[in-house]
Amino acid sequence: MHNIARRTRQRGLSFLGLVFMAVVAVSVVAIGGQSVPIFLEYQAVLKAADKAAREGKTVPEVRAIFDRAATIDNIKSIQGSDLEVTKHNERVQVAFSYSREIALAGPAHLVYRFEKQIP
């Protein structure tokens, strides 16, 4: 029998690969950590706009209801005056549009744009 010596290749991650993976992981955690409050605020805006559309009968009433809910839920990105309030078949419709941004590095920003119409 003839034994041929085979060289086994090392498997695994190189140091540079490890550093790259660490940088990517830290970036994802940092951006995610800043994004979670933005999405929680968006959920609060949806809830406040829905409540305003259900309970309000006039434009000032709808905006006042939204502003009260925004104060309770600590909504800073949008106010009642920013809402577009219309009536369609005797139902109040509330629409809104706003954006939030996260500074990444230098001139780079991550921008979230939110818009919704609530019947």
Residue 73 contacts residue 94 (beta carbons within 8 Å): no
Residue 86 — very low, low, confident or very high, per pLDDT cuts 50/70/90?
very high
Average pLDDT, the chain: 91
Report the share of the chain in percent with pLDDT over 90: 81
Check residue 34 and give its pLDDT.
94
Residue 92 contacts residue 57 (beta carbons within 8 Å): yes
Q: What average pLDDT does this structure show over 97-114?
A: 94
Report the share of the chain in percent with pLDDT over 70: 93
Residue 21 — very low, low, confident or very high, per pLDDT cuts 50/70/90?
very high
Of 19, 102, 119, residue with least CA distance to 111? 102
Residue 82 burial (CB count, 10 A): 12
Q: Nearest-5° angle of CA 90, CA 93, CA 94? A: 155
pTM: 0.80
* Residues ≥6 apart with Cβ < 8 Å to 55: 61, 65
Domain ranges of the chain: 15-118
HSE on the CB side for 14, CA within 13 Å?
Answer: 3
pLDDT per position as a tens digit, 22-67: 999 999 999 999 999 999 999 999 999 999 999 999 999 999 999 9
